[in-house]
Chain A
Amino acid sequence: MTAGSLGQGLSAGIGKALGHRIDGIDSKIYVIIGDGESNEGQVWEAAMSASHYKLNNLIAFTDYNKMQIDGYTQDIMDLDDLNAKWVGFGWNVLRVDGHCFPALNRAIRKAKEEKCRPTMIIMDTIKGKGAYFAEGNLGNHNMPFDYDTAKEAITRLEKGAV
C-alpha cells in the first residue's frame, strides 16, 4: 500500500489494527503522518474512528516540522494547537523532540501501555536537520540537488558531519 496520496495512511493503519484485533493478534500498528498532510480532512475522519474503536494497538506519529510545500504551516494552513486537536479527538497524546531517540523510545514504551486509546506521538522536528544545504531552507521539500552540492556533502560526511 502507499500513502502517497496524502491522508490515506492513517485510515489504512486503522484497518490493519481492526483486522489484527479481530484475529486476536497481539501487535502494534505504526503510522507516520506529516503536519502538512494533516490538512487533509481524511486524517480527522480517521482520527475520530480510531478513538471510537478504542484502538490501543495503534501508535501514530506526526512529523511536526512546521513546514509544507508552499511555506510554513502557520502561513499556509495553520494547524493551531495540534496537541489539543488530537486530545479533542480522544487520543492519548505525547510530545517529544523528534530528533532525540531516547525520548522517542520512552514515548513508544508509554504508548504500548495505553489500555483503551490510540496514541499520537507528536514529534517536534526540523526539516532537513543536519544537512547544511537543506536545514532552514524553505524550499527543501523537493529541492534540486546538483553535483557540487553532492560532492560537498560527501566531503562533509567523510569528515563526520554534513
Chain B
Amino acid sequence: MGKEKDMRATYNDTLIDLASKDERIVLMEADLMNASGTVTFKNTYPERFFDMGVAEANMAGVAAGLSSVGKIPFAASFAPFASRKTYDQFFISANYAHLNVKMVGTDPGITAQVNGGTHMSFEDGGLMRNIPGLVVFEPCDNVSLEKLIRKAAEYEGCTYMRLHRKGGNIIYKEDEEFELGKGVVLRDGSDVTLVATGLVMVQEALDAADELKKEGISAAVIDMHTIKPIDRELIVKYAEKTGAFVTCENHQVVNFLGSAVAEVLAEEHPALMKRVGVQDAFGEVGKLDYLKERYGLTAANIADNARAVLKQKK
C-alpha cells in the first residue's frame, strides 16, 4: 500500500471546494492553522476564516453563534483540546441548541506522537459519543475523508470528526461512496470479524486479516468510520455470520468503538469479542511505530486477539 498526501491537505482542499459552492461554510482555528494545514483556505476566503487564538472554549461558543445565524462552521484543534477544552461549550451552546457546528479533533490518539501525553487524546471520541444526537466519525484515508467531510457538511446538525493530519495508507478507490452511520465491509470473512476505525487501525486490521489468512482463518474487516450512530445492522449481520469480534481503535477501549460494538452485541446478538485499543492509560512521547507497540495497536496484537476469541468460540 502506497502513502498518500497529508490528510490535512485533503481537509483544506475539500473545505475550499465546499466554500466555493456554499457561502455558509466558515473555518475556525485555535492557533493551529499551520498544523491543520488551512493556510490556503485563509488566503482564499479570508472573510470566512477565523483564527480564535489559543482559546478553544471561546472558539466553540463563537462557532455556535455563527451557526445560529446560518453559517456552517468547521472548527479544529488538536483532539484533546477540541474535546476536553470545548466540552461544555460544544455541548450546550452548539448541541443542546440543535445547531450545526462541525468540530474537528486533529492528531487523535497516538498520532500526536512526540507532542506526548498532554496532546495525546484517547478519550475525545468517548466524550463526544456521550453528547446526545452528535454524529462522531473517523475517516481512515483521503478518499473516505473527503467524502465524509462532504456528508458532514450536508448533514444538518453537529458532528465531531477525528482528523489524522499526516499521510496515511490508501484504503479506498476514488469512486467509493460513503454514508455517515454505515460501516464498510473491506473484506468478507466467516470466522471472525475485525471492526476497525481510523487511519491507524483500519490498516492494522487489514494486515492482521492477511496474517490470519495464512493460518486458514477467515477474518472479515469492517471500516466502522462512524462510531455514532453505530451501524447496528452491520454488526448484527456479522454477529450472525462469525459470532466472534475484535474491535480495533486508536482510543481508549472505553466508550468509543469497542463499547459501541459491545453494546449492540449485548442487546441484539450476543457474541464473543475482544477489544484492541488503549487499556486505561495516558499518552506518552514517542514516534508512531513505538507507540503502536507500546499500546498494542498492531496487526500482531489484533491477530493474537482474534486467535484468542476463536479459542473461546470453540
A15-B47 in contact given A2-B97, A5-B92 (Cβ < 8 Å): no
Q: Among residues 4 to 47 in chain A, which have CB atoms less than 8 Å away from a CB atom of chain B? A: 4-5, 7-8, 10-20, 22-23, 41-42, 45-46
Chain B nearest CB: distance from A90 CB in Å?
13
**Contacts between the two chains (Cβ within 8 Å), count:** 96
Flag if B88 contacts A5 (CB, 8 Å): yes
Neighbour of B55 across the interface among A5, A17, A45, CB < 8 A: A45
Judge whether A48 is part of the interface by a CB distance below 8 angstroms: yes
Flag if A22 contacts B93 (CB, 8 Å): no
Give the docked Cα–Cα distance between A18 and B59 (Å): 12
Judge whether B234 is part of the interface by a CB distance below 8 angstroms: no
User: What class of interface size applies to chain A in its complex with B?
Assistant: 20 to 34
Flag if A22 contacts B48 (CB, 8 Å): yes
Judge whether A49 is part of the interface by a CB distance below 8 angstroms: yes
A15-B61 in contact given A1-B97, A2-B92 (Cβ < 8 Å): yes
Give the docked Cα–Cα distance between A4 and B92 (Å): 9
Flag if B69 contacts A12 (CB, 8 Å): no
Q: Among residues 50 to 65 in chain B, which have CB atoms less than 8 Å away from a CB atom of chain A? A: 50, 52-53, 55, 57-58, 60-65
Flag if A15 contacts B66 (CB, 8 Å): yes
Give the docked Cα–Cα distance between A22 and B67 (Å): 13
Neighbour of A11 across the interface among B65, B69, B70, CB < 8 A: B65
Residue of B with least CB distance to A12:
B65
Find the residue from B47, B65, B70 having the highest chain A CB count within 10 A.
B65
Report B-chain residues with C-beta under 8 Å of the C-beta of A23.
69-70
Residue of B with least CB distance to A18:
B66
A22-B47 in contact given A1-B68, A12-B61, A15-B65 (Cβ < 8 Å): yes
Flag if B64 contacts A15 (CB, 8 Å): yes
Give the docked Cα–Cα distance between A110 and B219 (Å): 71
Flag if A42 contacts B64 (CB, 8 Å): no
Flag if A16 contacts B55 (CB, 8 Å): no
Chain A nearest CB: distance from B225 CB in Å?
29
Chain B nearest CB: distance from A60 CB in Å?
13
Chain A nearest CB: distance from B293 CB in Å?
39
Flag if B55 contacts A8 (CB, 8 Å): no
Flag if A22 contacts B53 (CB, 8 Å): no
Flag if B70 contacts A42 (CB, 8 Å): no
Chain A nearest CB: distance from B61 CB in Å?
3
A15-B52 in contact given A1-B97, A8-B93, A42-B57 (Cβ < 8 Å): no
Neighbour of A18 across the interface among B50, B92, B96, B99, CB < 8 A: B50
A11-B62 in contact given A16-B68, A49-B52, A49-B55 (Cβ < 8 Å): yes
Q: Residues of A with Cβ closer than 8 Å to B? A: 1-2, 4-5, 7-8, 10-20, 22-23, 41-42, 45-46, 48-49, 52-53
Per CB-CB distance, the 3 closest pairs between chain A and chain B, nearest first, are A15-B65, A11-B61, A19-B69
A sample of 6 inter-chain contacts (CB < 8 A) reads A1-B93, A15-B63, A15-B68, A22-B47, A22-B71, A52-B53
With A11-B60, A15-B61, A42-B89 given, can you name 6 additional A-B contacts, CB distance below 8 Å?
A8-B92, A15-B66, A15-B67, A23-B70, A49-B52, A49-B53
